[in-house]
Structure 1
Amino acid sequence: LGICLLTSLTAYYPLKGLGQLNSDFLKYACLFTLLLAVKKEHLPKLSVVYTAAAALSGLFGVFEAVRPTLAVGGGLARAGVYMNAVRYGEAMTIAFLLILSRLLIPAKESFRRERMFYLLAAAPVFAAILFSQARGSYLGVMAGVIAIFSFAPGVRKKLLVCVVFMLAAVAGLWTATPVFKERMSAMATVKQGDFSANSASTGINVRIELWKLGYKMFKAHPVVGVGPDNIKRVFKKFHPEPFPEEGVYGTLNNLYIHQAAERGLPGLAALLFLFVSTFLFALKRFRAAKSPYALWALGALPAFYVVNLTEISFQHVHTSFAIFMALAFSAAAEEGS
C-alpha cells in the first residue's frame, strides 16, 4: 500500500493512482476480514457450499459451450457464464483445486456420501475449465497439481490416479473438438504476427505486443513506473502507432510486467515478496495441519501465480477473492490441530 501511495503521487495521472490505492486497501481489508471470520468449525460447510456453487456454475458453463453445437450444429463456444471466459476459467481452476484437495485428503468428518459429492462435483468443474478454452487456466491446473505432488508426498498415489482421469478428459476433448485442439496446439506452434479475428494465435500475439509495451514503460520509468491504473491513459504516449486489433488496453496481460510498468522495480519487488510469503505461509500451515483445507492453498497459490503470467488476475475480484478464501481456509485449518 505504501508503494501504491508513492507511485500514485508520482504518476502521470495521480487521481487515477489514488483510486487504485482505495481498491488495494479494500482488497486487503477483505483478506484480513476473512482470516478473522473463517474458523475451523466453519470449514466443512463452507467447503460444501463453495463446491456446490462451483459445480452448478460448471454445469451452466458446459451447457453454454455446447449449446451452439446442439442447436445449430455450429462450433464449440467458450464457457464463461456471463463472465469473461478467461476470468471464469481462472475462478473454476481455484475451485477445482479445492475439490481435488478434498478428494486427496478426506476430512475426518467426511462420510461416503460427502466423498461421492466431491467426486461428482469434480466432473463439471474440470469440464468447465476445459470448455473455457483459457490456456492460462490449463497451465494453472498443471502448476497446482505439480505443487501438490511436490509438497504433499502422502497423496501422490491418489493424485496420479486423478491425473490419469484428467488426461483422459483432455484427450477426449482434443479428439472430438477441432477448436480445442487448435487452441491447445497454438501454445507451441504460434504464428508470429497473426492477428486475424478467428486465429488461435491472435491472443498470444496481442499479449506479446503488450509485454513489449510494458517493458518500454518500465525502461522509461524503472523506479516509480507510470503510476497505478495509468496504463490506459499513457498507452498512446508509448505506442502511438496503431495497435493490433486497433485497441487501447488498460492492462498488459501479465501481472508482473504490469506491476513493474505501473509501480517500477519497488512495486514488482513488493508483489514478489507478497507472493513468496503467502506461499510459505500456506506451506507452513499444511505441514502443521495436514488438512485438505490447507492443501487447497498449497495448490491454488502456484496456480494463481502462473495464470498471472498471462493476465492481471490479482487485480480482479473473482480470482483474488477466491485466493483469499483459500488462504482463510488454510489459516483456520491449523487451529486446534
Structure 2
Amino acid sequence: MLLMMRLQRSQSHGIEKAFYLAACAVLAAFPALMFVKPTLSNICYGLLLGWSACALVAGGRAGLAECGALLRRYWLFMLAMAALPLAVLLQQLLAGAEEPHVSYLYLRFALFIPLVFGMVRLGRGGMRSVQWGFVVCALLSAAWIHEATAAGRPAHVGSSNIIPLSNLSMLMGILALISIGWDRRRDYLQSGLKLLAGSAGLYASYMSGTRGGWLAIPVLALIALAASRRLTRLHKAAALAGLAGLMALTWFGSAWVQQRTTEVVSELSQFDHHVTLDTSIGIRLQLWRESLQMVQAHPWTGVGPENFERTLQTLAAQHEISPLAASMPHSHNELLHATATLGIPGLLAILALYLVPAAFFLRHLGNADRGTQVASAMGLALCCGFMVFGLTEVMFATTLVNAFYSLIMAVCFAYVVARKDAWPAQAAS
C-alpha cells in the first residue's frame, strides 16, 4: 500500500511538471510567433488562458483565497486593465444600444485578470521563459523587415501593418536587453544573444522608417539603463552619450533617415499651404482635427467604434476631409481615437491602461530584489513604449496586439507580486 501511494504521488508530480513545462514553452512561443505565425500566437494565448483556468481550479479553496487577496490588494491595477472594455459597455448603454456587447478586441484587456492568476502559479522561474520569445521575435522581425524593405518601404509585411510590427519588434528587443538582469554574471552567451536581439529590434525600427517608433528609443533606453545594476552611474552616462552619438551619426550618415525626417517639415509645409493634404503627416492632421470635432459633438458617448469610418465618409462627402484620409480605419492617435469613439470614458480608460501600471512598476523599480526590479523595468517599458507609439498610431486596433499588451503586462505584474515559494516553482524543481 505504501509503495502504491508513492507511485501515485510520483505520477501526479510528473504530470504537474509536464503541464508546467508545456506552459513555459507556450509562454515563450507567444511573442516568438507573433508576426511570423499570428494564428499560432493566438492559439498560444488561448492555451495560456486554459492554463490559468486549470491552475485556478487546481488551487482549490486556497487558490481562490489567494486570488481574492490579489484582487482586493491590487484592485486599482485590475480595474485599470478592465477599463477599456468597461468604457465600451458604458458607451453602448449611454448610446441606447439594444443589445450591448463587448467585442473580443476589447475583452482581451480584461482577460489580464485570469492571466495573472495563471502566471502567479507558473512561478518566477516559469515566467522568465518569456524572455526567449522576445529574443526570437526581435531577430526574426529584423530579418523579415530587412528583406521586405529591399525594394522600398511597404505598407504591410506579411499580414502585419509595418508600423505596429516595427514598433513591437523594437520594444521586444528592448525587453530582451532588460532581461539581461535575470542572467547570472557569467552567462556571456545568453547576454550576448540578448544584446544581439536588442540591436536587431533597433535595426528593424530603422529599416521600417517608422518615425513614431524612433521617438520611443531614448525613452526605452533610459528605462533599460535605470534597471541595470551592473553599470555604474558613469557607465550609464557614457551609454546615454554613446546612444546620442549613434543617433546623430545615423542621421548624418544615412540618407534614408535624413529623408524620413526632412519629409516631416516638407509635409507640414504642404499641409499649411494647402499644396496637398494627402501626405503621411497631412492625413494624420486631418484625422486629428476631425476626431476633435467628433469629441466636441459627442463628448460623453463618442460616435461609437462601429461608426467611426462611416462618420469619416460623411465628412469626406461634405469636403471636410480628403477621401484618402476618410479611408483610414482609425485616428492614428490612441487617445484621440478612444475619445472620438467612446467619449471621455474612453480617454480615461486609455490613460488608466498607461498610467496606473506605469506608476506601479515605477514604484517597484528600486526594489532590492533583482528579479523584481527587472520585471518592473519590463512593465514600465511596455507602458511607456505603447504610450509613445500611441502618439502617431492606434496600437490597440488589433486583437493580437491587445493580447500582447495584456499577457506581457500580466507576466510583469505577476512576477512582482508572486511569492517565491509558489507551487509551480516547487513542482519544477
Q: 1:271 to 1:193 in 2, by over 3 A?
A: same
> Counterpart of 2:365 in 1: which secondary structure?
helix
- Which residue of the other structure, out of 307, 314, 322, is the alignment partner of 1:244? 322
Q: 1:241 to 1:178 in 2, by over 3 A?
A: farther
User: What is the aligned partner in structure 2 of residue 224 from structure 1?
Assistant: 301
Distance in structure 2 (CA, Å) of the matches to 1:157 and 1:28:
42
Distance in structure 1 (CA, Å) of the matches to 2:378 and 2:175:
5
User: Conserved in 1, the CA contact under 8 Å of 2:227 and 2:374?
Assistant: no
TM-superposed CA distance for 1:256, in Å, is: 0.8
Q: CA deviation digits over 1:76-108, x for unaligned, max 9?
A: 5359632211111221132022023134x3534
2:386 aligned with 1:304: yes
* Paired residues, number: 321
User: What is the aligned partner in structure 1 of residue 292 from structure 2?
Assistant: 215
TM-superposed CA distance for 1:166, in Å, is: 4.2
User: What is the aligned partner in structure 2 of residue 112 from structure 1?
Assistant: 188
Distance in structure 1 (CA, Å) of the matches to 2:397 and 2:290:
19
> Counterpart of 1:249 in 2: which secondary structure?
coil
- Which residue of the other structure, out of 117, 124, 135, is the alignment partner of 2:200? 124
TM-superposed CA distance for 1:147, in Å, is: 4.5
Q: Which amino acid aligns with 2:296?
A: K
Q: 1:239 to 1:47 in 2, by over 3 A?
A: same
User: What is the aligned partner in structure 2 of residue 282 from structure 1?
Assistant: 361
Q: CA deviation digits over 1:116-173, x for unaligned, max 9?
A: 1112222222100111111111112222234456x65855555445445544554454
Of stretches 177-186 and 318-327 in structure 1, the one that deviates more from structure 2 is: 318-327
Q: CA deviation digits over 1:228-279, x for unaligned, max 9?
A: 3320122233443343353433311111111111111222123223322111
> Counterpart of 2:317 in 1: which secondary structure?
coil
Distance in structure 2 (CA, Å) of the matches to 1:157 and 1:227:
51
For structure 1, which runs of at least 5 residues remain unmatched after alignment?
69-75
User: Conserved in 2, the CA contact under 8 Å of 1:259 and 1:268?
Assistant: yes
TM-superposed CA distance for 1:23, in Å, is: 2.6
Q: 1:99 to 1:188 in 2, by over 3 A?
A: farther
User: What is the aligned partner in structure 2 of residue 259 from structure 1?
Assistant: 338
Q: CA deviation digits over 1:7-32, x for unaligned, max 9?
A: 124449x58x9565443123421x23
Q: 1:204 to 1:136 in 2, by over 3 A?
A: same
User: What is the aligned partner in structure 2 of residue 206 from structure 1?
Assistant: 283
User: What is the aligned partner in structure 2 of residue 41 from structure 1?
Assistant: 125
Q: 1:61 to 1:79 in 2, by over 3 A?
A: farther
User: Conserved in 2, the CA contact under 8 Å of 1:213 and 1:239?
Assistant: no
User: TM-score by structure 1 length?
Assistant: 0.81
After superposition, where does 1:83-122 map in structure 2 within 5 Å? Answer: 83-103=160-180, 105-108=181-184, 111-122=187-198
User: Conserved in 2, the CA contact under 8 Å of 1:218 and 1:264?
Assistant: yes
After superposition, where does 1:7-26 map in structure 2 within 5 Å? Answer: 7-11=91-95, 14=97, 18=100, 21-26=103-108
Q: Which amino acid aligns with 2:328?
A: Y
User: Conserved in 2, the CA contact under 8 Å of 1:79 and 1:132?
Assistant: no
Of stretches 248-257 and 182-191 in structure 1, the one that deviates more from structure 2 is: 182-191
Q: Which amino acid aligns with 1:139?
A: L
Distance in structure 2 (CA, Å) of the matches to 1:324 and 1:159:
31
Distance in structure 2 (CA, Å) of the matches to 1:293 and 1:171:
31
Q: Which amino acid aligns with 1:144?
A: L
For structure 2, which runs of at least 5 residues remain unmatched after alignment?
1-84, 421-429
Of stretches 294-303 and 251-260 in structure 1, the one that deviates more from structure 2 is: 294-303
Distance in structure 1 (CA, Å) of the matches to 2:384 and 2:192:
27
User: Conserved in 2, the CA contact under 8 Å of 1:218 and 1:260?
Assistant: yes
User: Conserved in 2, the CA contact under 8 Å of 1:297 and 1:323?
Assistant: no
User: Conserved in 2, the CA contact under 8 Å of 1:293 and 1:333?
Assistant: yes
Q: Which amino acid aligns with 1:222?
A: P
User: Conserved in 1, the CA contact under 8 Å of 2:174 and 2:220?
Assistant: yes
User: Conserved in 1, the CA contact under 8 Å of 2:91 and 2:304?
Assistant: yes
TM-superposed CA distance for 1:336, in Å, is: 3.9
Q: 1:130 to 1:190 in 2, by over 3 A?
A: same
